[in-house]
Structure 1
Amino acid sequence: MSITPFQALACPLDGAPLYCQGTSWRCAAGHSFDIAAQGYTHLLPVQKKRSLDPGDSKEMVAARRRFLNAGNYQPIAAAVSRAVLADLPAAASCLDAGCGEGYYMRQLAAATTADGQSLAMLGLDISKWAVLSAAKQDKRPNWVVGSNANLPVLPGTLDRLLCMFGFPVYGEFARVLKAGGRLLQVDAGPDHLRELREIIYPVLKPERPADQQTPAGFTSLDSESVRFPLDLSGQEQIADLLAMTPHLYRASAEGRARAAALTALSVTVDVRLTCFVRNAAD
């Protein structure tokens, strides 16, 4: 399988098709978006930002890159790649909505070995630091700074869409997927990182029962649990895990200090992978 350029970008200002012209993307109305020297494009208009520097910080991105590149979540990546490639059309396109530093897209690219198929890949994140890191590590996918609330993608053009521990915006996901296209969503399960949470929080909140409702415009296809033990050694790995989760900011100073004092930690990785199929338009 060959990785091909993603050609279905839409102008974030008026929704018109974007065309690559030299070192920029342009629409018919003349809106222009430069391709950075590192290979990514900023498609998040300033008026759509909720803060000056939204999304994960440079430090959080670096922690996630170290942790994921060490292979700690490889079983999750393998399950996602299998789900993406199942029944994939010969010429297909895939968006990772909230791609972070691009780990799951790189793993998907490495798993695409079938001959006679092509896959256009787009990674999008609201954090410019995440997209910059992704672009530096792999030039094959297209990388853009953007928002799930206003995806810079033409309607009905995607065969697959990933939402990895992210913020799903189902109306937008339905808009950009083809009929029959699939949304692959990964969410934390009830025991995910329980051992770490027991250390940093005085009391764990009762787990809410899983209530994965099928979003409007979709049909639920199937789901699977990916669960495995993970042994971490050294303060840096433990610190990186904490830094790439929301728990870093939710925990008290005392809880963070208890985690920082650890030199080894065994945790349970427990996530749910759910697949939804985009319904045909009414």
Structure 2
Amino acid sequence: MNALSCPLCRLPLMLNSQGVGCGNRHQFDRAKEGYLNLLPVQQKHSREPGDAKAQLQARRQFLQAGFFLPLRQRLQQVLPASAQQVLDIGCGEGYFTQGIAEALGSAQVYGMDIAKAGVRLAAKTAKSEAMGTRLIYAVASSFDLPLADESMDLVTRIYAPSKDAELYRVIKSGGMLVIVSPGEQHLLGLRQRIYREVRPHQLTPVPEGFRLIEQQSLLADLTIAQPELRAALLDMTPFAWRMSAELKASLINELFVDRMDFTLSLYNKM
């Protein structure tokens, strides 16, 4: 855990009986679920920043059903086996973070998200599956990461915001950044039902200080037969806020047939 730094003074954080602390006696206790809260109150812009608890629970229900397993498996394939210090930004409830940890064996993996409800869910799973200190979850801001300079061999960002300067700061020279973003066809049929005008997803710009080395597309059919899982898909996305109750009920009661479309962009820090 020597990559963690104090979010208040930037000194290294060291393990202690309660959680972690720094040389300036700033203490951050470990929650009973196993995660650390490294988000100072001055970095919070609302009482509960990040995705809402209901949205995260819906995401967990949908992902655990295996619909995005092809993305998890493709992500595992592109990760460099040599990576020993790894960060997953915007880890949410931990589905992809755990897949990263499984693929990289002995690597130290950090999952960070500003939403405490998501980190709590992720840490509970890691604790129940005895992942130990090889997988550390923390509530933290992706715009002010509690990590030492040039401490990460690899950073993954799946559907999450970040700050180019922070990515550049924490990734080692020559280290890798993997960004997953939605492709043109992603849930296009659903979006056409919800929006009058469907705007194409914007291409992810190359982060400053990085070089694009490879870009992969992943397209697959997506059929959801169970009404409760159709509801989970709607509730885990911003779509839930953009539709009438009548349309939502109709979508839940109909067989869902659409496509998933993801773009995986691999970068090296220059």
TM-score of Structure 1 vs Structure 2, range by shorter chain: over 0.9
Matched, 1:176 2:170: yes
Deviation at 1:172, TM superposition (A): 0.5
What SS does the corresponding residue of 1:76 show, helix, strand or coil? helix
TM-score w.r.t. structure 2 length? 0.93
2:112 to 115, 119, 124: 124
5+ residue gaps in structure 1? Answer: 1-5
Q: Residues of 1 paired with 2:193 and 2:206: CA distance?
A: 34
Matched, 1:79 2:74: yes
Match of 1:3 in 2: none
Would you say the 8 A contact 1:200–1:254 is kept in 2? no
Q: Does 1:265 align with 2:256?
A: yes
Task: State yes or no: 1:230 paired with 2:218.
Answer: no
Shift of 1:253: 4.0
Match of 1:19 in 2: 14
- Aligned equivalent of 1:142: 136
Instruction: Give how far 1:227 is off.
Output: 0.7
Mapped pair 1:49 → 2:44: yes
- Residue 7 of structure 1 corresponds to 2
On the 8 A contact 1:200/1:258 being kept in 2, the answer is no
- Give the structure 2 partner of residue 100 of structure 1: 92
The 5 Å alignment of 1:147-226 reads 147-201=141-195, 203-207=196-200, 210-226=202-218
Letter in 2 for 1:142: I
Structure 1 partner of 2:267: 276
- The more displaced of 244-253 and 45-54 is 244-253
Contact 1:200 1:259 (8 Å CA) reproduced = no
C-alpha deviation, 1:151, in angstroms:
0.5
What percentage of aligned pairs have identical amino acids? 35
* Residue pair 1:125, 1:131 contacting (<8 A) in 2 also: yes
Deviation at 1:85, TM superposition (A): 3.0
For residue 18 of structure 1, report the CA deviation from its aligned partner. 0.5
- When the two structures are superposed, what TM-score results if normalisation uses the length of structure 1? 0.89
Q: What is the match of residue 242 of structure 2?
A: 250
Q: Which secondary structure does the structure 1 equivalent of 2:79 belong to?
A: helix
The offset of 1:249, in angstroms, is 1.9
Contact 2:194 2:242 in 1 (8 A): no
